[in-house]
A and B are shown apart, each in its own frame.
Chain A
Amino acid sequence: MLKYFFKRLSVSIGVILGVTMIIFAIIRLQPGNPYLNMVKYDTDPDFLEQRLNDLGYYDPLPVQYLKWLGRVVKGDLGYSIHFRTSVSKLIKDRIGNTLLLAIASFVFSTILAIFIGVFSAERSRSIWDYIITIISFMGVSIPVFFFGLLLIKLFGYDLNIVPISGMTTLGEHYTGIYKVIDVAKHMILPVFVLSITQTASLVRYTRSSILDVLQQDYMRTARSKGLTTRKAIWKHGFRNSLISIITVLCMRLPDLLSGALIVETVFIWPGIGSLNYQAILNQDYPLIMGIALVMAIIIILCNLAADILYAMANPRIRIGG
């Protein structure tokens, strides 16, 4: 098991290096430079040259990458050009907000999806099953930003009952439990939007996974010893399909993080997604790289966790891999 773990880990590190290398190349291949926004008609061109030189803009690409990597190994993610503060501080300030959104919708959508999935599988090929399948198809296909704007129109403009942007009520500095309630209210819409596509895809997964298990011999045995379908599903079926559901759950965190980019921009949620959006708009190289690295690490750790959980549950994989 330990050998398998280290093997997976070393692959992961390789992947992280690869990912950062590709992102580095892509952002540097785009036209323009980070100071373009600052250029005014009377800006001294020599001054700009100087700034770009200081930044290492004119070094060959591999040299720039190695320099960046060298600093990262020492724990220095660099300095944001746009925000004029250290990248690690910016990420540290924002990542909590993103995790709050991601975890809330993770929990919400998981519980919802498992129940709907089981419900649907129990009544496979009934009218309920079809309705749920159609709704979940819609949930998977609806673009997140569109759905977000739709909700803003509905709940902000027409009904005016939930906050539609930001994380706290402006000008009110709530503390303690009031702050929690205030933030929770602001979370309703973004969490709902983020959850909906997640729930939709997970419902379909849970449903098919349970249907699969239902056809197993041991389920027939369970039924033959007198259990109702529902009892059989929850006692034997759910447990057996849980292994693959857990794996899917692990793989979902990356989805949540990338979904956050759009949701955060729509709802002005001050997380890593909206930070990333701004960084890209302003060609803030150090910040883009910093966020990419953090995201890559989180995603790869999730994959690693999925691999390991799977291997623990199913020994055949360990031997094969």
Chain B
Amino acid sequence: MKKRIISVLIAITMSSTMLTGCGSKNGEAEKSKSSGDKVKNKIVYATTTAPAGTFNPLLAYMGSDGAIDSIVFPSLLQMKQDGSLEPYLAETYEVSKDQKTITFKLKDNAKWHDGKKVTAEDVAFTFLTMAHKDFPGTDFNKVGRLVGAKEYHEGKADSIKGLQIIDEHTIKFDFTEIYAPALMQIGVYGIIPKHIWEPIPYAEWEKKTEMLNNPIGCGPYKVTKYESGQYVELDAFDEFFGGKPKTPKFIFKVVNGDAITSEFKSGNIDIAGVKDLRKSEIEPLEKQGYKLISYDDDMYQYVGINMRMPIFQDKNLRQAFMHAVDRKLIVNKLLEGRGSVINAPFMANGWANPAEGVLNEYKYDPEKAKSLLEASGWVDKDGDGIRENAEGKKLQFTMRCSNDSKTREKAIMIVQESWKKVGIDIKVSVEEDAKMAEDCIYNHEFELYALNCYFGKDPDPYFWWHSSSASDKKGVGSFNFGSYKNKVVDENIEKALGTLKQDERVNYYEKVAKQINEDVPMMFLYTQNKEMLHNSKLSGFEPSTFNTFYNISNWVMGV
């Protein structure tokens, strides 16, 4: 009898779980219908990389943490869509005649989220902190050119001489030399509150998880809840210096990159980056009224060439690399036209990129590639389809390709095919990103490799293209990976650094671009557009390459 009761019980529990399963599904259907018009008091922004919870501009290194920081911690200036700067936390700023001094005057109505006033003390504290030798951040270089910064960094001085507080709302930066990116580096950097962080010894900052997860800034939104791996919830800060934000809640939601269309469809998210989706996935959503915004990405794809090797000293060979490949085809087929071919290390629509027609576009021309190779003595004598020189050295290389982008892998397949047609044989080896970084950046052990690189907010190419950024010593990292050294390039990079005037810099950068374009020390492939899809009811959303959250306090979701 007992056993029968047990089996009946099991049967009941089983059938009831099945029933409740169905029941809650039905319930959900009703609920999601009714919640359709409730969303207007919040905007949900989707991210595929979970924030790590380091919400402090001096310590954050993750992209998604940086995004939160840019909302919570306003900088003195901010970037507009065209790449120029406008005052943000600062009311005004002034560059002295000799271009070595910049003075910022803060908005006097700026308040921290805890109600205290934002003063010049906070600004000074932010930059002093990153210059301190005990501080575990990596940004000392940003203030390294201030008068007295080195002495302070080495512990020989108590403060930075070139960092002067004039009055409660005015602060002056004195530089030892004119340095073009200075305004960007100082101006576009989140300011942190002195009264919160000063009591914490520098070495302890990283361990203050509570404080990092619940930051106090002075931006339009303040973090109210951080759920690791799930979401970050921000509430409007009514006393924001730019006026009360129009939407009460802003939420960062972690999503699965493969489920973005479903997330849109079920109304879970309002904004998401969709550059990795196929056109065929985006179009149905556009038809349903979602809006697509497309703009330049700060990342480009390229093939690096190890200029340390004698074989690659041959300019004809490098130019042949370019002519042999139909890069337009890569953009049109692989990126579905959503990108552009680049020919110099400057962002296509950025102010530093030379005007059209200045650079050699290296149009697809396999015949030209062949004649360039022949001019350098590369001929296929033994008829195996691979060219060799007089000494019998064959044009055979290993191309290493990082495994973090399928599109890049396919692009490299096209490169391999195209090169084969002109007699260059490469073996493609797809590898872990970390392995590539170690070999290509640190140990310089490679022939060719395919990777991505980023443009900085300021177009200064010093760290990638100046000869002093190159390292030929094993184990010493350099971002001039291929070790390209050219006097003209060096000179013009230096000259462009010596002025804050954009129109002068453009001229110098044109010379840099021309030289690099001529020398082909790197095979530029393409930049993929950055694309944002958003709910059509959202207005005020005007993202640009370096400022996705521009004017966020004005974003509003219609009913």
Q: Which A residues have a C-beta under 8 Å from some C-beta of B?
A: 30-32, 36-45, 47, 51, 79, 82-86, 89-90, 93-94, 108, 111-112, 114-115, 149, 152-153, 156-157, 160-168, 170-171, 181, 184-185, 188, 234-235, 265-268, 270, 274-275, 278, 283
Question: Is the CB–CB distance between B207 and A84 below 8 Å?
Answer: yes
Question: Is the CB–CB distance between A170 and B42 below 8 Å?
Answer: yes
Contact of B253 among A42, A166, A188, A265 (CB under 8 A): A166
A164 neighbours in B (Cβ, 8 Å):
259, 262-263, 266, 268
Q: Which residue of A lies closest to B56 (CB)?
A: A84
Question: Is the CB–CB distance between A185 and B28 below 8 Å?
Answer: yes
Question: Is the CB–CB distance between A38 and B61 below 8 Å?
Answer: yes
Is B421 in the interface zone, CB < 8 Å from A? no
Question: Is the CB–CB distance between A171 and B233 below 8 Å?
Answer: yes
Distance in Å: Cβ of B2 to nearest Cβ of chain A: 11
| B-side interface size class | 35 or more
A93 neighbours in B (Cβ, 8 Å):
228
B50 neighbours in A (Cβ, 8 Å):
274, 278
Question: Looking at B24, B59, B230, which has the most chain A CB atoms within 10 Å of its CB?
Answer: B230
Considering the chains assembled together, what is the distance between the CA atoms of A43 and B138 in angstroms? 6
Considering the chains assembled together, what is the distance between the CA atoms of A275 and B229 in angstroms? 7
Is B476 in the interface zone, CB < 8 Å from A? yes
B window 12-57: CB within 8 A of A: 13-14, 17, 21, 24-29, 32, 41-42, 44, 50, 52-54
B469 neighbours in A (Cβ, 8 Å):
41
B window 414-467: CB within 8 A of A: 432-435, 437-438, 456, 463-464
Is B3 in the interface zone, CB < 8 Å from A? yes
Q: Which residue of B lies closest to A282 (CB)?
A: B52
Question: Is the CB–CB distance between A31 and B435 below 8 Å?
Answer: yes
| Pair count A-B, CB < 8 A | 167
Question: Is the CB–CB distance between B209 and A265 below 8 Å?
Answer: no
Closest 10 CB pairs of A and B: A32-B434, A156-B262, A85-B209, A41-B463, A270-B229, A31-B435, A157-B262, A42-B141, A41-B479, A38-B61
Distance in Å: Cβ of B546 to nearest Cβ of chain A: 15
Known contacts A157-B265, A164-B266, A170-B42; decide if A184 and B251 are in contact (CB<8 Å).
no
A38 neighbours in B (Cβ, 8 Å):
61, 138
Contact of A161 among B3, B7, B32, B477 (CB under 8 A): B32
Question: Is the CB–CB distance between A31 and B434 below 8 Å?
Answer: yes
Known contacts A41-B464, A171-B233; decide if A83 and B251 are in contact (CB<8 Å).
no
Considering the chains assembled together, what is the distance between the CA atoms of A153 and B260 in angstroms? 10
Considering the chains assembled together, what is the distance between the CA atoms of A83 and B207 in angstroms? 10
Question: Is the CB–CB distance between B434 and A84 below 8 Å?
Answer: no
Contact of A267 among B141, B256, B456 (CB under 8 A): B256
Is B231 in the interface zone, CB < 8 Å from A? yes
Q: Which residue of B lies closest to A107 (CB)?
A: B17
Considering the chains assembled together, what is the distance between the CA atoms of A270 and B261 in angstroms? 21
A90 neighbours in B (Cβ, 8 Å):
228
A85 neighbours in B (Cβ, 8 Å):
53, 207, 209
Considering the chains assembled together, what is the distance between the CA atoms of A36 and B469 in angstroms? 18
B29 neighbours in A (Cβ, 8 Å):
160-161
Question: Is the CB–CB distance between B266 and A32 below 8 Å?
Answer: no
Is B254 in the interface zone, CB < 8 Å from A? yes
A171 neighbours in B (Cβ, 8 Å):
41-42, 44, 233, 249, 251
Contact of A82 among B52, B253, B262 (CB under 8 A): B52
Q: Which residue of A lies closest to B21 (CB)?
A: A188
Question: Is the CB–CB distance between B265 and A156 below 8 Å?
Answer: yes
Considering the chains assembled together, what is the distance between the CA atoms of A45 and B479 in angstroms? 12
Question: Is the CB–CB distance between A84 and B438 below 8 Å?
Answer: no
Question: Is the CB–CB distance between B138 and A84 below 8 Å?
Answer: no
Considering the chains assembled together, what is the distance between the CA atoms of A82 and B263 in angstroms? 27
Distance in Å: Cβ of B400 to nearest Cβ of chain A: 12
Considering the chains assembled together, what is the distance between the CA atoms of A270 and B26 in angstroms? 25
Q: Which B residues have a C-beta under 8 Å from some C-beta of A?
A: 3, 7, 10-11, 13-14, 17, 21, 24-29, 32, 41-42, 44, 50, 52-54, 59, 61-62, 136, 138, 140-142, 206-207, 209, 212, 227-231, 233, 249, 251, 253-256, 258-259, 261-263, 265-268, 432-435, 437-438, 456, 463-464, 469, 476-477, 479
A51 neighbours in B (Cβ, 8 Å):
136
Question: Is the CB–CB distance between A32 and B437 below 8 Å?
Answer: yes
Considering the chains assembled together, what is the distance between the CA atoms of A157 and B260 in angstroms? 10
Known: A44-B141, A156-B262, A165-B256; 20 extra A-B contacts, CB below 8 A, are: A30-B432, A30-B434, A32-B434, A32-B435, A38-B61, A44-B138, A82-B52, A84-B206, A84-B207, A89-B209, A111-B13, A152-B256, A157-B262, A161-B32, A164-B262, A170-B253, A171-B42, A188-B25, A274-B229, A278-B50
Distance in Å: Cβ of A119 to nearest Cβ of chain B: 11
Q: Which residue of B lies closest to A118 (CB)?
A: B7
A234 neighbours in B (Cβ, 8 Å):
3, 7
Question: Is the CB–CB distance between A84 and B259 below 8 Å?
Answer: no
A165 neighbours in B (Cβ, 8 Å):
253-256, 259, 263, 268
Considering the chains assembled together, what is the distance between the CA atoms of A36 and B439 in angstroms? 13
Distance in Å: Cβ of B116 to nearest Cβ of chain A: 25
Question: Is the CB–CB distance between A162 and B229 below 8 Å?
Answer: no
A-B contact pairs, 21 of them (CB 8 A): A31-B434, A32-B434, A41-B464, A42-B142, A44-B141, A83-B52, A84-B52, A84-B212, A85-B209, A93-B228, A149-B258, A152-B262, A161-B25, A162-B24, A163-B28, A164-B263, A170-B251, A171-B233, A188-B21, A275-B229, A283-B434
Considering the chains assembled together, what is the distance between the CA atoms of A109 and B34 in angstroms? 33
Question: Is the CB–CB distance between B463 and A162 below 8 Å?
Answer: no
Considering the chains assembled together, what is the distance between the CA atoms of A86 and B206 in angstroms? 11
Question: Is the CB–CB distance between B434 and A83 below 8 Å?
Answer: no
B26 neighbours in A (Cβ, 8 Å):
161
Known contacts A171-B249, A234-B3, A270-B229; decide if A161 and B53 are in contact (CB<8 Å).
no
Known contacts A161-B28, A164-B266; decide if A111 and B230 are in contact (CB<8 Å).
no
Known contacts A37-B61, A45-B477, A268-B255; decide if A162 and B25 are in contact (CB<8 Å).
yes
Q: Which residue of A lies closest to B24 (CB)?
A: A185
Considering the chains assembled together, what is the distance between the CA atoms of A241 and B431 in angstroms? 50
Known contacts A32-B437, A41-B479, A267-B256; decide if A94 and B24 are in contact (CB<8 Å).
no
Distance in Å: Cβ of A161 to nearest Cβ of chain B: 4
